[in-house]
Amino acid sequence: MAEPAGVHLAQHGTQIFVYNNIRTNQIIYSLTRSLNNHTSLKQLPFLGKKTVPSHLRKDLWQPLCLVSFPRPLQGLQAYRRLREFRRLHETSYPISLITQTEGPHKGQLHSTKKRGKILMDQKANSVADLAAVLFRAEDKLETEKPESDPEREGERRINKVKKREEAKKVWMEKFKARGKAMGIEFDANKAEEYWRKKELRREAWLRETEERQNDPQLKIQKKIEAQEKTIKRVRGMQKAGQKSAMRWDPQPYVQPGVEGVKISWANLLDADFAEQWPAAVEHDGLSKNRYTAAFPELEDEGKILEGGKKEGDVPVELLVTGGKPVSEMRA
């Protein structure tokens, strides 16, 4: 019996499947275990001839890692950032990356084929991107603020003053016209006082708005209120008996972090491509799937016999012929 749509909706985003091409080291991110040709191939940019395959081969695209998140929203945000970082690596790269550093053609660009190979190799970058995304989720990633340019700052201030002077001139004309229409004589001192009070109120409002927008507690409170509205709506759908919400148990909003995040690696050594990982992230090995090896290992290794063979080993001929002796196959 197929599961209700609400089950897939609730689990969508809790897992990110990362696949790696064993020949080119291209990377594909997926929210589902099985890769779809149409949607997955859209992630691969055209970098030259034969850089984008016509279809995905299961023997070439192997699992790199599986990232599990406790909440779907965390997984979806991480998935979006990983896609953005990978796109930057493949389209906004330094020119030195594709420039020859030695040989008779030093300083010249590599050939189109060589450039494609260099840009397709995104395995190390993807692992480092995953660590950066998790650090950002942990809210401990220290980013350097760009240094402000004094000349540009001066130009901005001058433009700001000019705009306010123009606004003041327009306001004064309107104030004078309004007084003339009411039969009131224009008083420059009183108009200046009104304008100064108006500017003070405007500056106070701008300052209050900026503080409100930068307040982290206020942002969290808004997210909590939005989540409470969603929970209330889903509870109403469950009471009404809608199948899409019967199996979904909405959880309250959880503050950003990496508690409960687990990464299962096909090869644990691949985690060394990143300099460091958040301490709360759990690393584990990924169990083998049916495409990992051609034949499973024998549980009973047996004793080593003469000629390097082991007791209980299956002859290669039997594996190739499906368990029948070669003499019977020829007959």
From CA 65, how far away is CA 301, in angstroms rounded? 29
> For residues 256 and 326, which has the higher predicted lDDT (pLDDT)?
256
The token duo for 112 is: 């189109």
Q: Say what the pLDDT of residue 305 is.
A: 39
Average pLDDT of the chain to the nearest whole number: 75
When pLDDT is cut at 50, 70 and 90, the band that residue 67 belongs to is: very high
When pLDDT is cut at 50, 70 and 90, the band that residue 240 belongs to is: low
pLDDT (mean) for 260-267 = 90
From CA 190, how far away is CA 129, in angstroms rounded? 61
Q: Say what the pLDDT of residue 47 is.
A: 81
Q: Say what the pLDDT of residue 241 is.
A: 61
Q: Is pLDDT above 50 for 314?
A: no
- Residue percentage of the chain with pLDDT more than 90: 11
Q: Distances from the Cα of 103 to the Cαs of 100, 164, 314, in angstroms?
A: 8, 61, 51
Q: Say what the pLDDT of residue 128 is.
A: 92
Closest CA to 15 of 66, 57, 61: 66
The token duo for 30 is: 């997926």
Q: Is pLDDT above 70 for 10?
A: no
Q: Is pLDDT above 50 for 298?
A: no
Q: Say what the pLDDT of residue 229 is.
A: 77
> For residues 323 and 151, which has the higher predicted lDDT (pLDDT)?
151
The token duo for 136 is: 């950002």
Q: Say what the pLDDT of residue 101 is.
A: 83
Q: Which has the minimum average pLDDT: 15-24, 41-50, 171-180, 219-228?
A: 219-228
pLDDT (mean) for 40-64 = 86
Q: Say what the pLDDT of residue 8 is.
A: 55
Find the largest Cα–Cα distance for the chain: 121
Q: Is pLDDT above 80 for 231?
A: no
Q: pTM of the predicted model, to two decimals?
A: 0.55
Q: Are 99 and 119 in contact (CB under 8 A)?
A: no
Q: Are 278 and 140 in contact (CB under 8 A)?
A: yes
pLDDT (mean) for 308-326 = 43
Q: Is pLDDT above 70 for 1?
A: no
Q: Distances from the Cα of 160 to the Cαs of 155, 163, 164, 168, 240, in angstroms?
A: 8, 5, 6, 12, 57
Q: Say what the pLDDT of residue 289 is.
A: 58
Q: Is pLDDT above 50 for 65?
A: yes
pLDDT (mean) for 211-231 = 72
Q: Is pLDDT above 50 for 154?
A: yes
pLDDT (mean) for 105-116 = 85
Q: Say what the pLDDT of residue 147 is.
A: 54
> For residues 106 and 64, which has the higher predicted lDDT (pLDDT)?
64
Q: Is pLDDT above 80 for 248?
A: no
